[in-house]
Amino acid sequence: MTIISAHEELHYIHRAGWLRAAVLGANDGILSTSSLMIGIAAAAASAQDILLAGIAALVAGALSMAAGEYVSVSSQSDTEKADLETERKALLDNPDGELDELARIYIARGLTEDLACQVADKLMEHGALEAHARDELGISDLSKARPLQAAGSSALSFTIGAALPILVAVAAPHEHVAAAIAAASLLGLALLGVLSARAGGAPPLKAVARIVFWGAAAMALTALVGRLFGVAV
């Protein structure tokens, strides 16, 4: 086969790590902060109490998101490192067996035995551990766990999301603060759905409908709780 010209398609999988963390953080920032503030407002709290609750939710939520992402993604990273170390030891102790294992993977994917052996042999020559990490373990640079990136993306996006209902609470009249927070937050969630869908190359309508539906449900429920119990937290 002769390669005529370079051809590259636009893919989005390389964004998966930070995009997941950023979308989760922004969604949680908007939703948890606005829901808490709406619940407090429904309990007939003062404007100062509503604003204080929002700021506390922003600080606590951003730190919680960062810590949670870092711990969970670090666990994934530790597992990957342990598997790579096991594979590195196996390549030293039994290179022929590892070559055969790699060839059997390619045979299972549709290559003939001769071609699978040739491919496995060449890949083992040019990076045995990388070949086994990718084709046996499913670990590649695109999917590799990055704890600091995930933690930073989550904390920053949560802070940006949580700032929206807080700013609305500062600007809106106290008697309409709950409605203003709900409207602005739902609009923010819809915009987030569009942006995340476009960043991931997915249709935006489904993402918007999903995020707005669950956002509205969460806000309505917390407002009901605040109204029923009438307790300012």
pLDDT tens string, the chain, 233 residues long: the values are: 444 444 454 444 444 555 666 777 888 899 999 999 999 998 888 889 999 999 999 999 999 988 988 888 888 888 888 888 888 898 888 888 888 888 888 898 888 888 988 888 888 878 888 888 887 777 766 556 678 888 888 889 899 999 999 999 999 998 899 999 999 999 999 988 887 777 666 778 887 888 889 889 989 998 888 888 765 44
H or E segment and range at residue 3: none
pTM for the whole thing? 0.69
Placement of tokens 């373990």 in the chain: 137
Q: Which amino acid belongs to residue 168?
A: V
Taking each helix axis from N to C terminus, what angle separates 95-108 and 47-93, rounded to the nearest 10 degrees? 120
Q: How far is CA 214 from CA 52, 61, 189, in A?
A: 25, 19, 10
Q: What angle do CA 31, 36, 37 make, to 5 degrees?
A: 100
Tell me how many helices (H) and strands (E) the chain has: 7, 0
Both tokens of 42, joined, read 């429904």
Return the domain boundaries, the chain: 16-229
Query: For the segment 130-177, what is each residue's pLDDT rounded down to a tens digit?
Result: 888 887 777 766 556 678 888 888 889 899 999 999 999 999 998 899
Q: Which of 130, 156, 186, 126 is nearest to 23 (CA)?
A: 156
Cα 45 from Cα 49, distance rounded (Å): 6
Predicted confidence at residue 7, as pLDDT, reads 45
Produce one character per residue of 48-60: b if its CB has 16 or more CB atoms within 10 Å, e if not: ebbbebbeebbee
Both tokens of 16, joined, read 């998966």
- CA 147 from centroid of its chain's CA atoms: 12
Query: What is the full DSSP assignment across 113-129?
Result: HHHHHHHHHHHHHHHHH
